[in-house]
């Protein structure tokens, strides 16, 4: 259920089995922001280990460093922290950094890995003073576990129920002062009482291209390869604002340079590699283009419901909603209205199609 994890350790990610919905096979596309198990191992080597190493997200970084410094100053565990944002932006990385900065170990579990409240009670009661408990995909916790977590987070106590029926009684068990770090790709699904128990919520947003250039350059250094600045920019601008994708594209460009190029990571290699992998200049991949094409050609630009759209392209609605949509909406390539998803002028243009006369935005 929960694995002990030394935050200084490279390699193992400490992921509980079945800990992330993003392990699903539908996520093997080059620009999907989710990661497979194999990829998680490759990522571990590139993970920043300290707040200073963590590129971009200045606001969250500043806020978090205040929370951590204050706690360290008081010699006490900090408030519980909630991290929200699309896949691949650094939630797990930050959780590991929090433990490392506090100099404590990190326990890792996840909403889907906890089947029963008793599972969570077992994890909680085995925590040591000051430890960080990372709960990934916290919006997927089962209801009874969630209720147990409220009490644990607020009062540092779990009630162990002994016996059944009328004779059952609850024996309170006190817990050490721990810090819960929750991560979610869907903050909107968290019930308010749970959200309220986090003293600090950091929302991670897509990265600016300049920050991604730093991510790519830093990762190239760790991989021991030289990359020309133009190549780093090219990769950054096609990475959908997501460090995980930037690192993945970097590895593919490195492969291309090694196999088909002269080993140099330059602009020509970056362009050629990304063409092979069908990542377009704005970072859209086949699924994105399929969604947009269906929206325009099958549904005349919408509005169309998300699940209808997802079925049309043969994907799970959740994949389309968490992986494709946030980026497309941010890029102005898709609009959300109360009646469904709509194409924008930009969508038609990007696909090289002629918009209907009444398309205004």
Ligand X SMILES: Nc1ncnc2c1ncn2[C@@H]1O[C@H](COP(=O)(O)OP(=O)(O)OP(=O)(O)O)[C@@H](O)[C@H]1O
Binding-site annotation, residues for ATP: 46-47, 88, 91-93, 154-156, 197, 207, 244
46 binds ligand X (CB under 6 A): yes
Radius of gyration in angstroms for the set of CA atoms belonging to the chain, rounded to a whole number: 22
**Interface pattern 215-254 for ligand X (x via CB under 6 A):** x---------------------------xx--x-------
* 244: annotated active-site residue: yes
CB of residue 118 to ligand X, shortest distance in Å? 26
Classify residue 229 by its DSSP letter. H
* 196: annotated active-site residue: no
Query: Could you tell me where the DSSP H helices lie in 103-183?
Result: 117-125, 143-155
* 205: annotated active-site residue: no
User: Which residues fall in the annotated binding site for Mg(2+)?
Assistant: 92
Residues near Mg ion (CB under 5 A) are: 91-92
The CA-based dihedral angle spanning residues 356, 358, 359, 361, taken in that order and rounded to the nearest 10 degrees: 170
DSSP string, 272-284: HHHHHTT--TTS-
Residue 85 CA to residue 105 CA, distance in Å, equals: 24
Query: Could you tell me where the DSSP H helices lie in 126-189?
Result: 143-155
Q: Which of 15, 54, 134, 277 binds ligand X (CB under 6 A)?
A: 54
Between 64 and 121, CB nearer to ligand X: 64
Annotated catalytic residue within 29, 40, 61, 91: 91
* 69: annotated active-site residue: no
CB of residue 354 to ligand X, shortest distance in Å? 37
Contact indicator for 341, 306 with CB cutoff of 8 Å: yes
Q: Beta partners for 172?
A: 159
Contact indicator for 215, 209 with CB cutoff of 8 Å: no
Binding residues for ligand X, rule: CB under 6 A, are 20, 22, 34-35, 43, 46-48, 54-57, 87-93, 183, 185, 215, 243-244, 247
**Catalytic (active-site) positions:** 91-92, 136, 185, 244
């Amino acid at each position: 259920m929960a694995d002990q994890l030394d935050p200084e350790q490279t390699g193992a990610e400490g992921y509980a089995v079945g800990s992330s919905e993003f392990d699903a096979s539908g996520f093997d596309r080059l620009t999907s922001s989710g990661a497979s198990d194999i990829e998680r191992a490759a990522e571990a080597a590139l993970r920043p280990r300290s707040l200073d190493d963590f590129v971009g997200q200045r606001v969250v970084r500043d806020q978090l460093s205040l929370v951590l410094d204050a706690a360290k100053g008081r010699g006490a565990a900090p408030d519980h922290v909630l991290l929200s944002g699309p896949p691949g932006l650094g939630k797990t990385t930050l959780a590991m950094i929090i433990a490392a900065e506090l100099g404590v170990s990190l326990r890792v579990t996840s909403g889907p890995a906890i089947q029963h409240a008793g599972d969570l009670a077992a994890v909680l009661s085995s925590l040591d003073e000051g430890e960080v408990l990372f709960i990934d995909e916290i919006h997927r916790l089962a209801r009874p576990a969630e209720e147990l977590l409220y009490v644990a987070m607020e009062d540092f106590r779990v009630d162990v129920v002994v016996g059944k029926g009328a004779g059952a009684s609850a024996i309170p068990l006190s817990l050490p002062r721990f810090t819960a770090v929750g991560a979610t790709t869907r903050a909107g699904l968290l019930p308010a009482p749970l959200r309220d128990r986090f003293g600090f919520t950091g929302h991670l947003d897509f990265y600016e291209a300049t920050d991604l250039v730093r991510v790519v350059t830093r990762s190239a250094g760790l991989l021991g390869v030289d990359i020309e600045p133009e190549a780093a920019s090219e990769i950054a601008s096609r990475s959908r604002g997501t460090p995980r994708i930037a690192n993945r594209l970097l590895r593919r460009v490195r492969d291309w340079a090694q196999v088909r190029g002269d080993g140099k990571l330059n602009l020509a290699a970056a362009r050629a590699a990304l063409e092979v992998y069908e990542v377009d200049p704005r970072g859209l991949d086949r699924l994105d283009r399929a969604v947009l094409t269906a929206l325009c050609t099958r549904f005349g630009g919408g509005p169309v419901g998300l699940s209808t759209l997802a079925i049309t392209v043969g994907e799970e609605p959740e994949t389309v909603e968490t992986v494709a949509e946030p980026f497309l909406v941010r890029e102005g390539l898709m609009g959300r209205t109360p009646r469904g998803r709509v194409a924008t002028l930009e969508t038609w243009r990007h696909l090289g199609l002629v918009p209907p006369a009444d398309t205004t935005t």
